[in-house]
Each structure stands twice: as structure tokens, then as C-alpha cells.
Amino acid sequence: MTLNNPIFNSESKDFDASIFIGDKTHNLTLSDFSVDEEIKAANLADKIYKWLKVNLDTTKIYAASLLTELKNDSWLEENEIPLTQTKFAETIIFDGIIAFSEGSFQIFFYDNDIFWGHSIVVDIDKDFKFDGANISG
């Protein structure tokens, strides 16, 4: 896993960085920063990257602990076998991050059709503690 330095995107007014995991590139968008806050954005990107290296699997398990029951109660197709939390965590795929200038961020996962193509979003607060998980899109 590696991280490149954030670059200011004048169109979106955000800093964009990339996280490389294996052979895939994922976006890390740093939102709500001004162009002159490059160091602040880079420092947050580095903190998130270091946290993610240690906590990516834990984040999947956290999402599974909150969303497996929803999947099994409301999103099963006819004759579909209910998911276990372990299978849920193994199925979702890291897709990117949006971080905010005050320090909180959201981690996005591709659901692999658990929720019929909706994104799974895990909220992390400015103290790098889990703050909820939901589906989006």
C-alpha cells in the first residue's frame, strides 16, 4: 500500500491523492481545504493512510457488524442464503476515501451487489474512531 502526495484540483477545489493497494488505484479526496492549505491536506492524507494500513480489515468488520442484519432482514433476494458477518466483510471491496478539513473522513466500499450496487460508507470522526456505517447511492 502506498500514497502519493495530494494535488490541488482547481475544478473541484479539493486536493486529490491516490492510494495504491496491490494493482489498484483508489482516490483520496481532501475536501474543504483552500489552495494554500496543501501542508495541512498532506498531513491529514498521511495520517489517514497510516491509519488505513492498520485498520482497513477492521473497518470492513465494523461495517459488517452494523449492516449484516439490514442485509439479511431487508435485502435478500428470493432463495438467497443470509450472509454471515465474516462473509459480508470478505465480500466488500475498498473503493476510496473523502476526508474533510476538520479531520473526519468517510471510507467507501463497493458492495459486490450485497445491496444491489449501493456503496457502503463508514464514517470516521476526527479522532479516528468509528462513527457509523450506512449504504449510499
**Using one digit for the tens of pLDDT, what is the confidence trace for 10-55?**
899 999 999 999 899 999 999 999 999 999 999 999 999 999 999 9
Outline where the chain has alpha helix (H). Answer: 38-74, 85-91
Assign 2 to helix, strand or coil.
Answer: strand
Q: How confident is the model at residue 137 (pLDDT cuts 50, 70, 90)?
A: confident
User: Which residues pair with residue 121 across a beta bridge?
Assistant: 108, 134
Question: In this predicted model, what pLDDT tens digit does every residue of 50-103 receive, in sequence order?
Answer: 999 999 999 999 999 999 999 999 999 999 999 999 999 999 999 999 999 999
Mean pLDDT value across residues 111-130: 97
